[in-house]
């Protein structure tokens, strides 16, 4: 049953990434297409679109992420056809929304496996683990400069969280 639920969630994510018509319009107003860039990035990270799309979705360059996110829905061709396109996240908000979505998924996984009293504790732990992964050092590394690098990256993630 759990496998079927996961499969259903995957197809829902894929359909949101491709977009759906929310208003067919008439002769006085155009049709409306809505799609989710965050779901498109999740689809690209899964490997569904290939290794090239996965590397672009995991890139820190927001232009590459936007390019991959817009690939499935093809908003340029929809706009050319006179369809109004609505996106869940604008280009300016993509970095922060993507960070929060990744963090929410990681926190959900941490909470599922227990040991955390509050959601905020799990968020802080996720950011510390992310800092360890990004720097390549452990939080309790014997080398003090490496520990400082992990703490610096952790503080940067915490500051990004507040903005």
Kindly write down the DSSP assignment for every residue of 38-57, as one continuous string: HHHHHHHHTTTT-HHHHHHH
The verdict on pTM exceeding 0.85 is no
Distance CA 94, CA 62 (A): 7
Cβ atoms of residues 98 and 65 within 8 Å = yes
Per-residue pLDDT at 162: 72
Write down the pLDDT at residue 148.
93
Beta bridge partners of 34: 20, 86
What is the residue-level pLDDT of the chain in tens, covering all 163 positions?
777 877 777 777 777 777 777 778 777 888 888 888 888 888 888 888 888 888 888 887 888 888 888 888 888 888 888 888 888 888 788 878 878 888 888 898 888 887 888 889 999 999 999 999 989 999 888 999 999 999 999 999 888 877 5
Pairing of strands 32-35, 84-87: parallel
């Amino acid at each position: 049953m759990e496998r079927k639920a996961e499969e259903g969630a995957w197809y829902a994510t894929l359909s949101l990434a491709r977009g759906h018509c929310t208003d067919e319009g008439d002769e006085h107003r155009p049709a409306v297409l809505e799609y989710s860039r965050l779901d498109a990035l999740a689809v690209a990270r899964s490997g569904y679109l290939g290794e090239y799309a996965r590397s672009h979705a995991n890139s820190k360059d927001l232009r590459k992420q936007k390019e991959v996110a817009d690939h499935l829905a093809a908003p340029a061709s929809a706009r050319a056809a006179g369809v109004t396109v609505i996106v869940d996240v604008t280009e300016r908000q993509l970095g922060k929304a993507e960070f929060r979505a990744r963090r929410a998924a990681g926190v959900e996984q941490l909470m599922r496996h227990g040991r955390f009293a509050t959601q905020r504790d799990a968020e802080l732990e996720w950011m510390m683990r992310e800092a360890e992964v990004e720097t390549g050092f452990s939080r309790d590394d014997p080398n003090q400069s490496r520990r400082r690098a992990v703490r610096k990256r952790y503080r940067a993630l915490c500051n990004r969280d507040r903005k």
